[in-house]
Structure 1
Amino acid sequence: MAGRWIEQWEPEDETFWRERGERIARRSLWFSVLSEHIGFSIWSLWSVMVLFMGPEYGVDPAGKFFLISTATLVGAVARVPYTFAVARFGGRNWTVFSAFTLLVPTVAACVVMEPGTSYTTFMVVAALTGIGGGNFASSMTNINAFFPLREKGWALGLNAGGGNVGVPVVQLAGLLVIGTAGAAHPRIVLGAYIPLIVVAALCAAYFMDNLAPVQNDTGAAGDAVRDPHTWIMAVLYIGTFGSFIGYSFAFGLVLQTQFGRTPLEAASLTFIGPLLGSLIRPVGGRLADRYGGARITMGNFVAMAAATGVVVHASGIESLTVFLTGFTALFVLSGLGNGSTYKMIPGIFHAKAIARGLRGEAAAAHGRRLSGAAMGLIGAVGALGGLGINLAFRQSFQNAGTGTAAFWSFLALYGVCAVLTWAVYLRRTAPVPAKPQLSYAEV
């Protein structure tokens, strides 16, 4: 199995893609989804574990928000090295290794999850789950290299959406355990994931491939860091993915703290939003393939601002029904925007390659080189947006006992993101050369 390296890979060549490339790329995609799915479940583990932490644990709501924030932070930071690990070790090899490492935080949580454990210990174990967040970056970088530009929106959306589903699945597992065995048995959830981690790692070992042309290129990383589009897209990804992961981690605690729901009642509602947001992410990618990611993204941010207004109104009138309606809409829209923003990244760098005079496979290779490097940085900053949301909730509840102030800040963020998308990618486009090219409005 050590020899599973593909020496030649030209997905933009339609003959190569039809005769050989598509079959290999799709197989790698499905098993990448499996591994990333488990990674997301482990990363979001503490959004479930805190629901099991009753008064006997001695941890207040602010402390619980800080636990999930710790996991979010480590996951965001891990995304940068995980991005470049694909080129250093190979996509298949790194997927196998990163899947097996998920055993560490899962077994550790199984050991410490009981009353009497110190808060510091809980923080350390929550931090360990952050490595599950790193899996996303390596998986997306790997799959980006497999697919032609015309299918990247769909492929990246499916890969990420299948991974994102790991969040509601682990929350459903928590609901099942709380509803049947009771809130005193968190180890049942943890024990169920240990064999799943092993299966995901073995499937990656037997069914995935490494791409030799994806070579470690520190120059690409430097170019991506210096390109302003990397940081503009990072801000937009804070608005979409930062919202998705931040809300996913915090939703159950918000329901318990602001609306007085029991752990079982909170768990029975928590999974719905993340599930819908995950399932619709490929749709966002597909719409971006057809209509242009910038158009879909800007409209999405406008809708997110409107949905946040509904949530603020619901908080003011203390209506759980209206609150759930607005919050669920936020999840759906964040998932849609995740798909459209990630489609924009390779499209932007491909458009820049064409503007430089490159054509065909040369333009495609240049775009893959820079977009692969940029994705890790953008994903890391986006995940830090989730940390910001968790901390905003913590501060809002600590100061006022509600999340209203936090939601006002989120509304302002979506307004900024909508204006930024319009100003950079829709109001003006790249200079048009003699030959037709992709404009930024079409990426």
Structure 2
Amino acid sequence: MAQTLVREQAAAPQQRGGGWIDRWEPEDEEFWERTGKKVARRNLIFSIFGENVAFSVWSLWSISSALLVAHYGFGFSAAQMFFLVAVPNCVGAILRVPYTFAVPRFGGRNWTVISGLLLLIPTVLLAVAVRNPSTPYWAFLLIAATAGVGGGNFASSMTNISFFYPDRKKGFALGLNAAGGNIGVSVVQLALPVIVGAGGLFGLVGAAAGGVDLARAGYVWASLGLVSAACAWFFMNNLTVSLASFGEQIKVLRHKHTWIMSWLYIGTFGSFIGYASAFPLLIGLLFPGISIANYAFLGALIGSVARPFGGWLADRLGGARVTVWNFVAMGVGTVFVIAAVNAESWPMFLGAFLFVFLTTGIGNGSTYRMIPMIFQKQALLDADRTGEGHEAALARGRTEAAAVIGLSSAVGAFGGFIITATFGILGLIYDDGVPADAIASAFVIFLGFYVVCIALAWWHYMRRTFMIQRAPNLSTVDI
């Protein structure tokens, strides 16, 4: 009996006040099966909920900008609407850097509470601004910029969850956490038109007789932000093992793999959030007879659902292999999108674009699976040269991987800004709104970027002759 009690105590996390857990050893099989798995799952569930609400707030303007012109009479040009969509992506990308370092400084649960409360700022401001028909464009730009706080949540959430799961389960767990957040884009694009009275759900819900009221959306997601903060306070935990100094984390900036993976993540997540933000406007501009409310949410939904599949696939086939071939598929899909734009074919455009969304989701999952594996393997290779202990090297690798996960998410999110801003800039250059030829030109630029990503990923992570700091090729250790 006494021995059984000792084993149970050894397999239980050591908790103290404020939601802190001092002992967390997910790599210990007994610890994980007895108690670790349950605690990790609970934190994952509420992390997903909070991130979902945050992504919805981040993407509020992807659908609100079109409704402002269609139902409120604001005379914004197509280029101005694209910049309204682009600004939150830019601010969100910047905020992901401090959000990454917030978890090791304050704790995952504590920061999830704070970040949930910050969502009140953009939502309440939106509700106030749309009630005043004299609100100028520059004011809408500033309000849209505050929605970037929703984009920052992803970095802190992914950094936090990476500490809860053992290495062998990180791919699927991170993919699930990210997918739950990403799907928030689809949620807001599907639900907002219904909530504000614009109709939707493929005609099942008609437009309200009293007209569109965008302020309702602000109040709904402000309330959800409060709920997400409360859930984090009551049901999530802080991990002592996640704490690290700024100096320990910032060291990852010296690693070239930090920048290589960030570049690849621009191609996957940058494409996802950029295309998801622009999709409603692209439908309205290219195919004005098609209902935005009925189709805008599909791209983000498919990309979000595909993300954990990408992590699962990478766990089995290797992240590098999946990532390279996925970029090839993205390129093929983009070629068909360009053809559809030039042919003005709605069925072809929808099918090709949804395929591209599918590949962005798979690529998001596979690239994020690569990061922990790269830095764990690199830490062990470094330890062989320096004499550092095995466990110490693994711990360092986890800390570095968590920092890179957050930092690469920041760089990747900036890609979303680049995509939406490119549509707007080309619209200004062509000086005719955003015509089909300008949109097709933008996709040609994106296609060229995917070709670079294919070459970069293959060169660094699939070539069998590559030497990493004069150590064996990382591709030979199943990244």
Is the Cα contact below 8 Å between 1:38 and 1:163 reproduced in 2? yes
- The one-letter amino acid of 1:125's match is I
Tell me which moved more, 208-217 or 243-252. 208-217
| 2:234 paired residue number | 206
Could you tell me how far 1:38 is from its partner in structure 2? 0.3
Task: Please tell me whether the aligned partners of residues 173 and 189 of structure 1 are also in contact (alpha carbons under 8 angstroms).
Answer: no
Structure 2 residues without counterparts, runs of 5 or longer? 1-15, 200-205
Aligned to 2:214: 186
| 5+ long unaligned stretches in structure 1 | none
**Cα offset for 1:220?**
2.8
One-letter amino acid of the counterpart of residue 142, structure 2: V
The partner residue of 1:372 within 390, 394, 402 is: 402
Question: Would the aligned equivalents of 2:96 and 2:410 in 1 still touch at CA under 8 Å?
Answer: yes
**Is the contact between residue 76 and residue 383 of structure 1 (CA under 8 Å) also seen in structure 2?**
yes
The residue that corresponds to 2:263 in the other structure is 235
**TM-score, normalised with respect to structure 2:** 0.88
> Counterpart of 1:310?
336
Which residue number corresponds to residue 142 of structure 2? 124
State the SS of the aligned residue for 1:307: helix
Match of 1:420 among 441, 456, 478: 456
The one-letter code matched in structure 2 to 1:210 is: N
Structure with the greater alpha carbon radius of gyration:
2
Residue 181 (structure 1) shift: 4.3
* Alignment match, 2:427: 397
Equivalent of 2:69 in 29, 54, 60:
54
Q: What amino acid maps onto 1:42 in structure 2?
A: V
Q: Check conservation: 1:351, 1:439, Cα contact below 8 A.
A: no
Deviations 1:315-369 (A, max 9, x none): 1111111011111011111011000001111110011012123675434312211
Q: Where does 1:14-25 land on structure 2 (aligned, <5 Å)?
A: 14-25=29-40
On the 8 A contact 1:252/1:266 being kept in 2, the answer is yes
Q: How big is the alpha-carbon RMSD for the aligned residues of Structure 1 and Structure 2?
A: 2.0
The equivalent of 1:32 in structure 2 is 47
| Counterpart check, 1:333 vs 2:359 | yes
Structure 2 CA distance for aligned equivalents of residues 83 and 422 of structure 1: 28
Aligned to 1:141: 159
Decide which moves more: 53-62 or 345-354: 53-62
Alignment of 1:156-171 (within 5 A): 156-171=174-189
Task: Give the match's secondary structure for 2:402.
Answer: helix
Paired amino acid for 1:416: V
Shift of 1:214: 1.6
Partner residue in 2 for 1:104: 121
User: SS at the partner of 1:53?
Assistant: helix
Match for 1:165: what amino acid? I
Q: 1:397 to 1:260 in 2, by over 3 A?
A: farther
- Is the CA contact (8 Å cut-off) linking 2:307 and 2:361 kept in structure 1? yes
Number of equivalences: 440
Distance 2:368 2:145 in 1: 26
Q: Kindly tell me: are residues 2 and 187 of structure 1, through their superposed partners in 2, closer, same or farther at Cα, counting changes over 3 Å?
A: farther
SS in 2 for 1:57: coil
Matched, 1:70 2:87: yes
